[in-house]
Amino acid sequence: MALLTSPSRSTAPAVPPSPGPVRSAVGSRVLGGVSQGFLLVWGAMVVFPLLWAVLSSFKSDQDIFTSPWSMPSRWRWDNFSRAWNESHIGSYFFNSVVVVCCGVVLTLLLSSAVAYVLARFEFPGSRVLYYVFVAGMVFPGFLALVPLFFVVQNLGLLNTYLGLILVYAAHGMSFSVFFLTAFFKTQSKELAEAGLVDGCSHWGVLFRIMLPLARPGLVSIGIFQFLGMWNEYLLPLVLNTDEKRYLVTQGLANIAVTQGYHSDFSGLFAGLTISIIPVLAVYLGFHRQISAGMTAGALK
């Protein structure tokens, strides 16, 4: 048995080391070492720019120019207050929070209603309806950009929170309906039927039994939508041209592009750090659900 000849380990390897000649054992150790090396190098390449940006946000402009590689000579927290107030990152941040939170809640409300109906009831056209919603995931958003702008303008919703919230929610529905329909289908029919027998209305079953049971699914899709909406760039760029209403990604990109590097380097790094940190926090807190949710979408 291969397993018996391998050196004992606490965790049983899925692929036991080759029991064959020594040459191959050495070869596989070298291969393992080399691949470990590449893994480390890639990890460093991912972390380094981020770490550099965060460290630079604590430096003075002088420090950034003269010693980009060292630790800050003095930790300058005032970069952050300057970015927050003078570069308006604070108000952009507030705009993002309003739009994204309302957008996520509205997406969840609308898509759980649709998903519940599609998962639990057979009616003429229900398959077609499902495909109409899911098709939204496949079409490139660019095709609809020009007409979307005029739809929003004609409704008088350009440069408003409501306009962005509605557009975000509508565009978030495709994936959420797809995900939640599958989720509601896995829930037991017996509970719903028991509820109906006990005299609950359809509404009562939905709100008292099914939605509370669907909490884990709603949480995963909520996190997923939060990240997607927080990171959106194209939609606010087109639908939200009033500088006071800028969202944080849009505002930061605007500062970086228009002011260039020469005005307030450290303030820009602080702004960048401010916009990275919430996403980093959400990601580290929920990384299991996030990668599961994203790969579930990809493996559809």
Residues in 53-72 that interact with another protein by CB under 8 A:
53, 56, 64-65, 68-69
The C-alpha atoms of residue 23 and residue 6 are separated, in whole angstroms, by 15
End-to-end Cα distance, the chain? 39
Q: Which residue's CB is nearer to another protein, number 76 or number 171?
A: 171
Smallest separation (angstroms) from another protein to the CB of 102 = 13
Nearest Cα to Cα of residue 98 among 177, 168, 172, 173 = 168
Smallest separation (angstroms) from another protein to the CB of 47 = 6
For CA atoms 32, 34, 36, 38, give the dihedral sign.
negative
List the interface residues with another protein, window 279-298 (CB under 8 A). 279-280, 282-284, 287, 290-291, 294-295, 298
Q: Which residue's CB is nearer to another protein, number 6 or number 91?
A: 6
Cα 206 off chain centre by: 28
Question: From the list 181, 264, 269, 270, which residue makes contact with another protein (rule: CB under 8 A)?
Answer: 269
Provide DSSP, 185-211: HHS-HHHHHHHHHTT--HHHIIIIIIH
Q: Segment contacting another protein (CB under 8 A): 73-81, 82-90, 181-189, 271-279?
A: 271-279
Smallest separation (angstroms) from another protein to the CB of 82 = 17
Q: Segment contacting another protein (CB under 8 A): 87-95, 97-105, 131-139, 186-194?
A: 131-139
Task: Determine, following the binding rule CB under 8 A, whether residue 214 of this chain makes contact with another protein.
Answer: no
Binding mask 71-110 for another protein (x = CB under 8 A): ---------------------------------------x
Question: From the list 108, 230, 245, 266, which residue makes contact with another protein (rule: CB under 8 A)?
Answer: 230
The CA–CA distances, whole Å, from 273 to 11, 79, 125 equal 39, 11, 48
Q: How many residues lie near another protein (CB under 8 A)?
A: 104
Binding mask 10-29 for another protein (x = CB under 8 A): -xxxxxxxx-x---x--xx-
Task: Determine, following the binding rule CB under 8 A, whether residue 183 of this chain makes contact with another protein.
Answer: no
The C-alpha atoms of residue 6 and residue 11 are separated, in whole angstroms, by 12
Task: Determine, following the binding rule CB under 8 A, whether residue 123 of this chain makes contact with another protein.
Answer: yes
Q: Segment contacting another protein (CB under 8 A): 79-87, 97-105, 138-146, 213-221?
A: 138-146
Residue 110 C-beta-side C-alpha neighbours within 13 Å: 19
Q: Which residue's CB is nearer to another protein, number 244 or number 300?
A: 300
Task: Determine, following the binding rule CB under 8 A, whether residue 207 of this chain makes contact with another protein.
Answer: no
Task: Determine, following the binding rule CB under 8 A, whether residue 194 of this chain makes contact with another protein.
Answer: no
Task: Determine, following the binding rule CB under 8 A, whether residue 179 of this chain makes contact with another protein.
Answer: no
